[in-house]
Structure 1
Amino acid sequence: MAVPKEAVWERDPHTAAKHDLLKRYLEAWAPILLSRNDVITYAEGFAGAGVYKRGEPGSPVVAYEVFAHALHRFPKRMCLILMEEDRRRVEELQRQMALAQSRHADDITARLTVDIEQGDFHPALLRRLRSTGRLGKPLFVLLDSFGGPDVPYSILHQLGRYRSTEVMVTFEPAFLTRFAESHDGHRQLGDEAFGSQEWQAVFRQPSSNKFTFLREQYRATLHQAGFTHTLYFEMVDEGGRKLYLIFGTQHERGLEKMKDAMWNVDPSYGVRYRDPRDSEQQMLDLVFEPDTAPLRRILRDFISQAPSGRTVQELQRYTLLDTVYRPAQVITAVRQLRESGAVITDARLITKKTRVCATAPPSPPGPSAEQGALW
């Protein structure tokens, strides 16, 4: 979206879905980290005003409420570090955070500190994290800009040096595909965001593949920065505008918890998934029991690549790292594949140690679609 001129603006469905996802992930993240650390930190580079025109809470308030609730269970401490460039939004954010603090007991507010600073997030955010000693300790950084290539690779590289840091970045591919080819300044922004000029090969891609190409290039950028595991959350609004939330972590458990959060986003926001490894590129609705047909196709292809088959444990790890699905859905998918005659197993009861073999070569994959939602 274009950068709003107002201090407070209307919340769109993209934003509502992002905040639902953020809340669900932080509800899992905070207790896990607080159970074994004395202090954990949440930071934002584009904090905004903390509220929308109809009174909906902004992401800093969403995060504060999650953390206040978690601190009722743990005698630990948390810190929110919030950066915002616009002075008017900083003033409103200060009011909103004061209101949030007033809803909780003094014991909670004393252990849940809020640090708000006005300024361009880069390099000010890194400088603030260093000066407060937060780098190298448990840290979640939300870089939720308005979608342009305004998060430099240099900050991702600095954050990715620390195993205890996780990031979530907003990325809108349309900006680069529409404006950067004919504008030197926009190309320079792309170079800074990707950390190289390799992304410029997008201009030689067919239109149907441009977004996919940029998504994969950004995945490689996060890997290069040190985030070994990534998830892509795709949102499409009524006008067809596409936006990615990209999560980076160095922990498989963080990846699993984020995937759980993604599958539990409120379906009323109209967000759906599409797994790029699925040859048919079937769209998946966010429902309690998701359609596993794409997962069955993906697993059969993966199983067929190993002459001796794969164990269920191998399939579950592959599912976690390389698909939109969760490991818990693998056993059901294997059972359905066996019932259809596509695979055989070395035991009737399916456990993690069960070996699964394909009964025949899979059918050739169909043409790839424009892009997928995750990975």
Structure 2
Amino acid sequence: MAGPKTIHWDLEPHTRAKHEILRGYLNGWFPVMSRYNNRIFFFDGFAGPGRYKNGEAGSPIIALTTLLDHAHFSRMKCDFLFMFCEHDSKRFTSLEVEVKKLKEARAPWPSNVKVQLVNKEFEASASDIITEMQRLKKQLVPTFAFVDPFGVSGLPITVIKDLLASPRCELFVNYMVDSVNRFAGAGNIDHHLKDLFGTERYKEAAALQGQPRQQFLHNLYEEQLKSVCEFSFVQSFAMINTYGHIGYYLFYGTRDIKGLELMKDSMWKIDPGGDYRFSDRLVGQTVLFIEDGVDARPLQQALRTEFAGKAVPIQQLEDFTITRTPYKKSHLRRFALTPLERENAIQVRRPGRSQFPPGTVVIFPA
């Protein structure tokens, strides 16, 4: 477990799962964004020492190797900018060593991959970028910000808002709800909580207990990411500790439905049940999930309810599935529309012979 004076710590199961979500998402984000932009930016606000106690890669090494090892990297012609921020001097020194080792192992280092290490707090580093953008009167290039703190301090939502104001910027943040739950209403860290939420509404949690209290604090942060930071789409993923409690949520914020699609795909790989949660308690148990086991009846019912009496283009159904349900886009055709058509519960107008090609219109009875 990491602490304020720890340099290296054990890689816990929930952290490994978090890194798998990150790796899975970046594996899709890098080629998509590099196709349409000359420059993209990966910003790690709490980078750590680069490696864990037993040598496992930390988030900076994961981000770099995901790009370098990508099957299509040689065809990605844009500039990739990486900034890794770590305020602790000893951890920062370790991070420098690990990045140097990677560069030496991958020599000659690609000229379009640029790495900057910053020995500062996240808030200070982000504020420097914001100040420079304002001075130049420019927007930030397409950015994926990975913000993974140990607690609730140093994470003002107004800084996130100003840093990621450009339409093509995205956030992946560790929201330590267990700490928030413990201190909300206690009064001793109110200044940090007000910065975190950008409001004092967290104090309303004092009147709640148990699951309703935690759900309120989850929903409040989601609401603030949408209203303050103006993220059109927000998706959370719960991390459950060995005691069976939710220690933190990973929140992803984006303004692009394609980004949401990629992130949901990555999260489903960690939790194929579609509950968007990972539990340390299940690690080591033999639990097998198969796509054929997806229960899409709730998706079928949601579609029939939402679109009753309407003729709906397939694209609209895809967008609804991605943004309004827990399901992935790939579940729509196979697990929802195909069974509904087989049962004569819908009618389908196709422009060709394939099952549900672009241009398909699905007719739902009233």
User: TM-score under structure 2 normalisation?
Assistant: 0.84
How far apart, in 2, do the equivalents of 1:230 and 1:239 lie?
Answer: 27
Aligned to 1:226: 230
Identity over aligned residues, as a percent? 25
The one of 96, 103, 106 equivalent to 1:104 is: 106
Q: 1:237 to 1:112 in 2, by over 3 A?
A: same
Q: How does 1:31-110 map to 2 (within 5 A)?
A: 31-70=31-70, 71-108=73-110, 110=111
- Matching residue of 1:196: 199
Change beyond 3 A, Cα 1:12–1:131: same
1:261 has 2:261 as partner: no
Give the length in aligned residue pairs: 341
Residue 190 of structure 1: how far off its partner (Å): 1.6
Give SS of 2:345's match.
strand
Which moves more between the two structures, 92-101 or 131-140?
A: 131-140
Q: Establish whether residue 179 from structure 1 lines up as the match of residue 187 from structure 2.
A: no
1:232, 1:56 → 2: CA distance? Answer: 25
Counterpart amino acid of residue 355 in structure 1: I
Deviation at 1:135, TM superposition (A): 4.6
CA distance in 1, matches of 2:276, 2:36: 35
Which residue is 2:15 aligned to? Answer: 15
SS at match of 1:42: strand
Cα shift at 1:172: 2.1
Given the alignment, which residue of 346, 357, 365 partners 1:357?
365
Letter in 2 for 1:191: K
Give the 3-state SS of the residue equivalent to 2:364 in structure 1.
strand
Asked whether 1:251 is paired with 2:230, we answer: no
Q: Alpha carbon RMSD of aligned pairs, Å?
A: 2.7
Alignment partner for residue 213 of structure 1, among 212, 216, 223? Answer: 216
**What is the CA distance between 1:214 and its match in structure 2?**
1.5
Deviation above 6 Å: which 4+ runs of structure 1?
none
After superposition, what is the alpha-carbon deviation per residue over 1:96-122, rounded to whole angstroms, capped at 9, x for unaligned? 0001111213251x3212111112111
Is the CA contact (8 Å cut-off) linking 2:152 and 2:193 kept in structure 1? no
Question: Contact 1:249 / 1:255 at 8 angstroms: preserved in 2?
Answer: yes
Q: Distance in 2 between matches of 1:175 and 1:115?
A: 31
SS of corresponding position for 2:37: coil
Cα-to-partner distance string for 1:133-180 (whole Å, 9 max, x where unaligned): 895211111001125354211112113421121110001212122222
Shift of 1:127: 0.7
Instruction: Tell me the alpha carbon deviations over residues 218-272 of structure 1, each in whole angstroms, 9 at most, x when there is no partner.
Output: 111111212111111122122223121111111111111111111223x7xxx86
Q: Secondary structure at the match of 1:10?
A: coil
**Alpha-carbon distance, 1:338 to partner:** 5.5
Q: 1:56 to 1:335 in 2, by over 3 A?
A: same
**Matching residue of 2:244:** 240
Cα pair 2:10 2:54 within 8 Å, conserved: yes
Q: Normalising by structure 1, report the TM-score.
A: 0.82
- Cα distance in 2, alignment partners of residues 27 and 150 from structure 1: 29
CA distance in 1, matches of 2:38, 2:158: 29
With over 3 angstroms needed to count, the CA separation of the structure-2 counterparts of 1:114 and 1:290, relative to structure 1, is farther
Q: Work out the CA distance in 2 between the residues paired with 1:190 and 1:106.
A: 46
Give distance in 2, aligned partners of 1:145 and 1:106: 33
| Structure 2: stretches of 5+ with no match in the other structure | 278-286
Paired residue type of 1:196: T
Cα drift, residue 74 of structure 1: 2.4
Tell me, what secondary structure is at the counterpart of 1:136? Answer: coil
Deviates more, 1:348-357 or 1:148-157: 348-357
